[in-house]
Structure 1
C-alpha cells in the first residue's frame, strides 16, 4: 500500500469498531489489517487513547456546524442537534467512542460545543445556564443517535429478534399489580422504534424544554 496516513488508520478503526465493537480495535489488529507493522501505527498514535481521540475527531469532522446565518436560534439549535445525530448514527460505535474520550481533546467536537454555547447565549441564557444547556444538548444528541434499542456490535438479526423477545417476555411476566404500565407497554418498550419517529420526538422533547425556559426570560 502507499504511505500510511492517520486518516486511513482511523477509517479502518471505525470499520472494525462498527462491526465488532471497540474492544476489537487494537494497534496490532489494525496493523495486520493495513498490512504494516505496529510501529507504523505508533508513528501516528502512541496508544489506543490517542487513537480513540483521532476516531472521535474524524467522526465529528463529518458534521461541520454552519456559521450563524441569521435564522432564529431555535432553528439553528435544531439544525445543530439533528446534524450531529445524523452524522453519529452512521457509525454504531460512535457513542462508545465519545463516552471513552476526553471530549475537550477533540478539536472538531470543541467546534460543535462552542457553537452550542453561542446559541444558548443568543437565546438569553447566562453563562452558567448556557454551559448546562450545551452539555445537555450534546449528550442528548449522542444518546438519541445511539440505536433506539441498543444492541451489541456484530449481532445477527436472529439474535436481535431473540433478545427483543426475551426482554418483552420478561416485562410481560412482571406482577401487573405492582408494575401495571411496564406490563401494558412491554412490546413498545423493547421493540426497535422507527429512527425517524425516535429522532423527531427526542429532539422535540429536548428543544421544547429549552424554548419554554427561554420564553420565561
Structure 2
C-alpha cells in the first residue's frame, strides 16, 4: 500500500467503530486491517486518546465554521445543529467518540463551540445563557439523532416492519376511553418520518432560542 496517512487511519477507525463499536477500535486492530505494524500507527497517534481526538476532529470537520458571509446568527446556529445531527446520523460511533474524547484536544470541536458561543452572544444572550445554549444544542442534537424512530442499517425491512407492527398494535390495544389520544395517534407515533422528525426537532429547539432572543 502507499504511504500511511493519519486520514487513512482515522477513516478505518470510524469504519470499525461504526460496524463494531468503539471498543473494537484499537491500534493493533487497525494496524492489522491496514496491513502495517502497530509502530506505523504510533507515528501518527501515540495512544487511543490521540486517535479519538483525530476521529472527533474528522467527524466535525464537515460542518466546522467557515466564512459567515451575510448569514444571520439564526441561520448559522441552525447550520451548527443540523451539521452535528448529520454527523451523528452518518456514524453510529460518533456519539461515543464525542462523549469519550477530551474536547480540548479537538480543534474543530473548539471552533464550532466557539462559534456557537459567539452566535448566542450576538443574539443578545448573557455569557451564562450563551454557555447554557451551547450545552442544550449539543444535547438536543444527540437526542434527536439517537431517537428510536430511526433504525440502523443492520435492521432488515422485515425486522423494522415487525417492530413497527408490534409497537403500533400495542398502542391501538390500549383502552380508548382511558387513552383516547394515544389510540388515535398510534400510527404517526410509531411511524414518524425521519426527515420530519429531524427538521421539526431542530425547528422546535431553535424556535425557543429565537423567541427568547426576540424578548431582549
2-structure distance, mates of 1:167, 1:203:
25
- Residues 150 and 194 of structure 2 are in contact (CA less than 8 Å); yes or no, is this contact kept in structure 1? no
CA shift for structure 1 position 66: 2.6
2-structure distance, mates of 1:189, 1:26:
40
- Residues 149 and 194 of structure 2 are in contact (CA less than 8 Å); yes or no, is this contact kept in structure 1? no
2-structure distance, mates of 1:190, 1:26:
38
Residues 96 and 216 of structure 1, relative CA distance in 2, 3 Å threshold: same
Corresponding position of 2:134: 134
CA shift for structure 1 position 174: 4.9
- Residues 95 and 143 of structure 1 are in contact (CA less than 8 Å); yes or no, is this contact kept in structure 2? no
Residues 162 and 106 of structure 1, relative CA distance in 2, 3 Å threshold: farther
Residues 105 and 173 of structure 1, relative CA distance in 2, 3 Å threshold: farther
Q: How does 1:1-217 map to 2 (within 5 A)?
A: 1-146=1-146, 149-151=149-151, 154-174=154-174, 179-191=179-191, 193-195=193-195, 197-217=196-216
Could you list the per-position Cα deviations for residues 119-160 of structure 1 after superposition, in whole angstroms to 9, with x for gaps in the alignment?
Answer: 000011110000001111233233334466244563333333
CA shift for structure 1 position 179: 4.9
- 1:83 is paired with a residue whose SS is helix
CA shift for structure 1 position 180: 4.7
TM-score (norm: length of structure 1): 0.83
TM-score (norm: length of structure 2): 0.83
- Residues 62 and 83 of structure 2 are in contact (CA less than 8 Å); yes or no, is this contact kept in structure 1? no
- Residues 27 and 41 of structure 1 are in contact (CA less than 8 Å); yes or no, is this contact kept in structure 2? yes
CA shift for structure 1 position 215: 1.4
2-structure distance, mates of 1:53, 1:150:
27
- Residues 148 and 198 of structure 1 are in contact (CA less than 8 Å); yes or no, is this contact kept in structure 2? no
Residues 31 and 108 of structure 1, relative CA distance in 2, 3 Å threshold: same
